[in-house]
Amino acid sequence: MKAAEDNVDSGTPLLTVENLQVEFDTYGGTVQAVRGVSFSVDQGQTLAIVGESGCGKSVTVQSIMGLIPMPPGRITAGSARLRGHEILGRSTVGGKEIRGAEIGMIFQDPMTSLNPTMTIGDQIAEPLQIHRGYSARDAFTEAIRLLELSKIPEAEKRARQYPFEFSGGMLQRAMIAMALSCKPSILIADEPTTALDVTIQAQILDLMQELQKETGMAIILITHDLGVVARMADEVAVMYAGKVVEYGSADDVFYRSAHPYTVGLKEAMPTNDPARQHELKPIDGSPPDLFAPPAGCGYCPRCPHAMQICSDRQPQGHDLHGHHSASCWLHHAQSESRPETLFFKDAH
Amino acid sequence: MWLYILKRVLQGLLTVWFIATATFFAMHNVPGDPLTNDRAMTETTRANLEGKYGLDQPITTQYLIFLRNLARGDFGISFVQENREVNDIIREHFPVSAILGVLAVVFAATGGVLFGALTALYRNRLPDYLIMFLVILGISVPSFVVAALSQLSLVSLNTLVGFTVLPVAGWGTVMHMLVPALVLGLSTMAYLTRLMRSSMLEVTSSDYVRTAKSKGVPPTRIFARHQLRNAILPVVTVLGPAIAAITTGGFVVELVFAIPGLGRYFVEAVQQLDYTVIMGTTVFYGAFLVFMVILVDVVYGFIDPRVRLDS
C-alpha cells in the first residue's frame, strides 16, 4: 500500500477536487449549494477560496472533510482525491484517518469552536491519542510543545487552562496547534481571522505561513477578505453562486482579472494606497436563489457587461494563460464585447 | 472556592431566617390556635394552658423565644401529640422521606439523562416519539393516580406469579422502596428528559462538536467526552430544587403506599394548627432545600470550570 501511494505521489497534485456538487434538502426545497467546483492544491502551496457569504465555499471544504450532515446534505457528483486516492465519503485513506491526521481544520470563531469543559491541553492531546496511539501523558507533553510552537507563552500553564481563560487570538493559536498536532498534509482554514481584530489577524496569518514553511503542508484558506488573499495565497479560486468563476495564480487573479465578478470585488475593496485611491463601488443586487439556479450565468443580473447569451446558457471555463481560467461568455471566441477593465487572452 | 462556599452558606442562613420569620408570623395570623378544638374548656383551663405554652406572652416575646430555641436547634414540643418533641418527629420520620426521596432522585436523574440523550440521538425517529409520548404522560398524570395504578398492577402481578415479587405497600426493605420511589420520581424524570433532550440537541449542533469531528474523534468518544458533560449542565442546575421538591413533596405517595415519612406529620400538623410542628417542619424543609441548592451549585462548579473562577 505504501509503495502504491508513493507511485501516485509524483506528478499529481496533493489534493484534486473535480466537479464537486453538493445539495441540501430543506423545507423550502433543495438548495444546490455547490454546483461543480474544481481546484487542486500542491504541497507547500496556499489556495485561497474567495467569495461572498453563501457562495458555497464553506460547504465545499466541509464536504471534503466529511463534515456535511447527511441527510439533509448530499454529494451528488464529483471527486476529491488526496495523492490520487478518492476521499469523498471515506474516513480513511491508505490506512490513515483523513480527519485530523491527513487534513486538519480550523474555524471562524475560536471562542465557540473549543469545548468549554475540557482543558486546552487535553483538546490538543486528543487527536494524538486517537491517531498516533500516544498515552495520555505523552500526548499532553506533546500538546505543550505544540502550544509553544504556536507561540503561546507559558505553554505549560496554559495547557491546563480552559478556553474561557484564553483570548480570541490565543484560542485561534490553540486551534492551529490542535489542527496540526498529527502533522496533516493539508490545513483547511475556514475564515480563520474573521472573528479576530486586525492586529491579531496579522499574527495568526504570520503563524500559519511560518508553520507552512516548517512543515511543507498545503493550506486551503477560505476568506472574503481580499487583503488576506493578497498576503497569503499562491493560487486563488473565486467562487460565486456555487461555482468557481475565476481560477489562477494570485498574480493572475489580482492583476489580470478576467471575470467581471472578480473586478467587482476588487472595486468594492478599500485600499490605503493613495495612488490607487478610488471611490468604493458596491456590487448591486444579490446572488441568485440557489433553490432554482438560473439557466445562464449566475452573475448575469449584476454584471455590467451582460449579453443575451449570459442569461440563456451556462458559460464554460476559458483557459487564458497557464492555468488561469475564467467562466465567462466574454472570453468566448465569438464574443465581440471586450471591456477594458478585464484581462483577455490575446493581451499576452 | 472556599470563600464562595462560605458566602453561599451565609446567604443560606439568611434565607432560612427569613423562612422562619415568615412562617412564624403567618401562623399567628391564622384564626384560632392549637388549643381550639372540640373539647369543652373552661376559661381557667385555657388560661392555664396558654400560660404553660407561653401563648399569653406578647407576640414579639414569643418570636424572640422561638428564634432563641431555633438557634439552639430546638423546635419545641408538639401541642397536639402529647410529650413529643418536634425534633424527635423529624429525627424519626425524615430519614424515611429522605431515603425515598434520594432513591426517587436517582431514578429521575439517571432516567432523565439517559432517555433525554436517547431521544436526541434518535431525533424524529421511533424511540424519540415513543419516549416523548411517555414524557407527556409522566408530566400530566398526577402522582396519586400513578401510585394507585402501580399498586393495582403490582397486585395483579403478584397474583399472577403466585408469590410477592414486590410488596404493594408498607416500609422496611429495599423492595418496599422501589415502586414508590419510581412513582415519586416519575414527573421529575419526565421533566429532566425534556430538558436533557433540548440541551443535547443544542450541543450536537455546536461548533466544538464540529471541531471534534474535524479532529477525527470517533462518535462514541464525541458523545462521552464532548456532548454529555456539556449537555448535562442545565440538568444539574435544576437537580437541587428537584431533590428538595421530591423529598418534601412526597406525602401523597407516602400516604398511598403507607410509608411512615415526615410528609404525613406535616399535613396533619397544618390541619390541627400544631404551631411547633408546622414551624419545625417548615424551617427544616426550607433549610434542606437551601442546603441542596448550595450543594448543587458547588457540584456544578466541578463540572463547569467557568463557574469556579467567575464567583
Q: Is B306 on the interface with A (CB under 8 A)?
A: yes
- Give the mean pLDDT of A205-225: 90
Nearest to B230 among A113, A116, A126 (CB): A116
- Of the candidates A299, A296, A294, A333, the one whose C-alpha atom is nearest the C-alpha of residue A312 is A296
- Of the candidates B299, B179, B180, B289, the residue with the CA atom closest to the CA atom of residue B235: B299
Confidence bin at A203 (pLDDT 50/70/90): confident
Q: Is A117–B304 a contact, with Cβ atoms under 8 angstroms apart?
A: yes
Q: For residue B22, what pLDDT band results from cuts at 50, 70 and 90?
A: very high
pTM: 0.77
Give the pLDDT confidence score for residue A2 in this predicted structure.
40
Which residues of A are less than 8 Å from B216 in CB distance? 91, 97-101, 127, 130-131
Share of chain B above pLDDT 90, in %: 23
**Please, which pLDDT band fits residue A239 given cuts at 50, 70 and 90?**
very high
- Name every chain B residue with its beta carbon within 8 A of the beta carbon of A116: 208, 230, 304-306
Q: For B46-59, how does the pLDDT look when each residue is reduced to its tens digit (9 = 90+)?
A: 777 777 767 778 88
> How far, in Å, CA of A201 to CA of A178, rounded?
18
Scanning A114-193, the segments in alpha helix (DSSP H) are 120-132, 136-149, 155-158, 168-179
Q: B136 burial class (0-12, 13-18, 19+ CB within 10 angstroms)?
A: exposed
Q: Rounded distance, CA B217 to CA B225, Å?
A: 10
Q: Is the pLDDT of residue B168 over 70?
A: yes
Whether B206 and chain A come into contact, CB under 8 Å, resolves to: yes
Stronger pLDDT, A332 or A21, i.e. the higher one: A21
**A134-148, A290-304, B60-74, B273-287 — which one is most confidently predicted on average?**
A134-148
Q: Report the C-alpha gap between A109 and B43 in whole angstroms.
A: 80
pLDDT in tens, A10-47: 567 889 998 999 999 888 888 888 888 999 999 989 99
Among the ranges given (B154-158, B170-174, B255-259), the one the predictor scored with the smallest mean pLDDT: B170-174
Q: Least CB-CB distance to A178: which of B206, B215, B306?
A: B215
A115:B218 CB<8 A: no
Non-local CB neighbours of A165 within 8 Å, separated by 6+ positions:
B309
Q: What percentage of chain A reaches a pLDDT higher than 90?
A: 24
Mean pLDDT calculated for residue range A247-257 = 88
**How would residue A5 be classed by pLDDT, with cut points 50, 70 and 90?**
very low
Is the model's pLDDT at A340 over the cut of 50?
A: yes
Residue A347 has pLDDT above 70, yes or no: no
Query: Is the pLDDT assigned to residue B310 strictly greater than 70?
Result: no
| Interface contact A126-B208, CB threshold 8 A | no
pLDDT of residue B253: 87
Q: Give the range among A113-117, B193-197, B277-281 with minimum mean pLDDT.
A: B277-281
Write the residue in B215, B230, B309 that is nearest to A117 by C-beta: B230
Overall average pLDDT of the A41-59 stretch = 89
* Min Cα separation B226/chain A (Å): 7
Q: Does B211 touch chain A (CB under 8 A)?
A: yes
Contact status, residue A111 vs residue A195, Cβ threshold 8 Å:
yes
Q: Is it the case that residue B247 has pLDDT exceeding 90?
A: no
Closest by alpha carbon to B33, among B44, B15, B46, B45?
A: B46
Q: What does the pLDDT look like over A125-164, one tens digit per residue?
A: 999 999 888 898 999 999 999 999 888 889 899 999 999 9
Q: How many CB pairs under 8 A join A and B?
A: 74
Please count the residues of chain A: 348
Higher-confidence residue of B305 and B144: namely B144
How confident is the model at residue B209, as a pLDDT?
A: 92
B contacts of A101 (beta carbons < 8 Å): 216
What are the φ/ψ torsions at residue B226 (nearest 5 degrees)?
-110, -40
Whether B216 and A165 lie within 8 Å, measured CB to CB = no
Q: Could you give the CA distance from residue B141 to residue B139 in angstroms, rounded to a whole number?
A: 6
B236 in reach of chain A (CB within 8 A):
no
